[in-house]
Amino acid sequence: MYYQNVSVGQLIKRVSRFTVEIDLNGTVEPVHMNNTGRNKEILIPGSLASVRYVDNPNRKTHYDLLAVQRQGRWINIDSLAPNHVTKECLEAGTLKLPGLALPYAIHPESTWRDSRLDFAGKAADGQSWFVETKGVTLANGTLAAFPDAPTTRAVKHVHTLTMAQAEGYQAFLLFIVQLPDIRQMTIYRDRFPELVTAITTAKQNGVRVLAYDTMTGPDQITLGNEIPFDEHLPFSEINLNSL
């Protein structure tokens, strides 16, 4: 996935939940951030940041924040990117769902019961499936973790996947880690222990949990390799005083 109309500037500060200020060639620009996480280890003043220009006179800001460079790697912070990457790769067959034959018939944004799941479809052998995708931006070294902030919505989605699995669908929870050089993925138990319990139960009932890292840059994010997932691994955040 490649972005158009991209510029690189320097992060000045976070202004509000959805707005940061970026220095673009000496001009301070308000930039929209499409991400609801805390991102405190990413939004460090002085970091390089990439933005996309949006030509829309009805918007309050003319730029979207795409990625921030931290410790030598670009962290994609666009919350829409994981779904775009997933759809692109499912359609191309470069993301293969374990146990399901290619090609897939794909239907984005599908409602089942009282939940809206990111993707529904059928495999070549007729098996129906659901995929719920979660973007991951929190990491410490080579270990990534989800979530960056408590999310009851994620727990609801996991429960829905568990019910769907019990009714004959093949259900997948897919984590797209939006930065490179990640070797393992876990759940941040100290932040939201209910999600650990929900995922463990889902796995015991047949839900498949997959995690992939990505290759990133200021203007791109592409699917990388599948990485091991274990919801019970301990995780601690980066010490900001050491940055």
Query: What's the pLDDT at 116?
Result: 95
Q: What does pLDDT average to over the chain?
A: 94
Q: Could you tell me the pTM of the whole model?
A: 0.94
The alpha carbon dihedral of 222, 223, 227, 231 has a sign of positive
- Tokens encoding 237: 């955040």
Report whether pLDDT(242) > 70.
no
Query: What's the pLDDT at 36?
Result: 75
Report whether pLDDT(85) > 70.
yes
Q: Of 34-38, 74-78, 117-121, 159-163, where does mean pLDDT reach its minimum?
A: 34-38
Nearest CA among 219, 145, 231 for reference residue 182: 145
Give pLDDT tens digits for 127-186: 999 999 999 999 999 999 999 988 899 999 999 999 999 999 999 999 999 999 999 999
Cα–Cα distance, 25 to 37 (Å, whole number): 28
Q: Grade residue 238 by pLDDT with cuts at 50, 70 and 90.
A: confident
Q: Grade residue 240 by pLDDT with cuts at 50, 70 and 90.
A: low
Q: Where are the beta strands (DSSP E) in the chain?
A: 6-16, 19-24, 27-32, 48-53, 63-70, 73-76, 105-112, 115-122, 128-136, 138-140, 143-146, 170-177, 184-187, 208-217, 220-226
Q: Grade residue 40 by pLDDT with cuts at 50, 70 and 90.
A: confident
Query: What's the pLDDT at 35?
Result: 84
Query: What's the pLDDT at 57?
Result: 84
Report whether pLDDT(241) > 80.
no
Query: What's the pLDDT at 162?
Result: 98
Query: What's the pLDDT at 59?
Result: 85
Strand (E) or helix (H) holding 195: helix 193-204
In one-letter notation, the amino acid at residue 38 is R
Q: Write down all domains in the chain, each with its CATH number in brackets.
A: 6-72 (2.40.50.580), 80-242 (3.40.1350.60)
Strands of the 105-112 sheet, one edge to the other? 105-112, 115-122, 128-136, 170-177, 208-217, 220-226
Report whether pLDDT(213) > 60.
yes
Could you report how far apart the first and last alpha carbons of the chain are, in Å?
30
Cα–Cα distance, 136 to 138 (Å, whole number): 6
